[in-house]
């Protein structure tokens, strides 16, 4: 991925995201796909639906540094493997180091849907499969909807799921 390709490339029609010869098939995109806009040189603007509030949008800038491109290249190499067990990547690092941002950039560039599930101390096994709703369709009652995990697993184009904070001791028991 070169910055001059970002400037002249027709991103809407591309079939593959290619970085240094490593390719990942792009999706068609959808309502959960972060959008990006090339600002200048190696800087892009990512716009996406807020993970906790679908009525809000958030935007942030991402710099495609050589290190970020190396991480993306490694992720593309892993995800494009013909081995189906290579569909999972664990990004491990301290808080604020850019793990989620890296996943957002990959989703935006490869036009893949993003599914984000934040784990918490009171999470149960049921929470992995369903999320509790209240007031859906104008009804003042609780209900259940399929969780982000199941939606991601069912995405025909290979959506990308983020399991945030899954590594906390209580959350590991749920898995």
pLDDT in tens for each of the 175 residues of the chain? 443 333 334 444 568 888 887 788 888 888 788 888 888 888 888 998 887 777 889 998 998 888 888 888 888 888 877 766 667 777 888 888 888 888 889 888 888 888 888 777 777 778 778 877 776 666 677 778 888 778 887 888 778 888 777 666 565 555 5
**DSSP states of the chain:** --HHHHHH--GGG-SEEEETTEEEE-----TTSPEEEEEETTEEEEEEEETTEEEEEEEEEEE--HHHHHHHHHHHHHHTSS-GGGG-------TTSSHHHHHHHHHHHHT--EEEEE--TT--HHHHHEEEEESGGG-SSEEEEE-HHHHHHT-TT--EEEEETTTSHHHHHH-
* Residue 152: per-residue pLDDT: 80
């Amino acid at each position: 991925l070169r910055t001059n390709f970002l400037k002249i490339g027709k991103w809407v029609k591309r079939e593959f995201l290619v970085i240094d010869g490593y390719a990942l098939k792009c999706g068609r995109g959808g309502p959960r796909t972060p959008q990006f806009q090339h600002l200048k040189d190696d800087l892009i603007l990512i716009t996406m639906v807020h993970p906790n509030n679908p009525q809000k949008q958030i935007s942030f800038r991402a710099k495609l540094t050589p290190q970020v491109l190396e991480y993306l290249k490694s992720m593309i190499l892993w995800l494009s493997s013909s081995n189906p067990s290579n569909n999972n990547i664990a990004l491990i690092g301290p808080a604020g180091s850019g793990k989620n941002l890296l996943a957002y950039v990959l989703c935006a560039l490869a036009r893949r849907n993003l599914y984000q599930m934040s784990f918490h101390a009171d999470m149960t096994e049921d929470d992995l499969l369903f999320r509790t709703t209240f007031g859906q369709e104008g009804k003042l009652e609780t209900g259940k909807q399929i969780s982000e995990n199941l939606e991601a697993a069912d995405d025909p184009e290979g959506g990308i799921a983020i399991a945030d904070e899954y590594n906390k001791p209580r959350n590991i028991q749920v898995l």
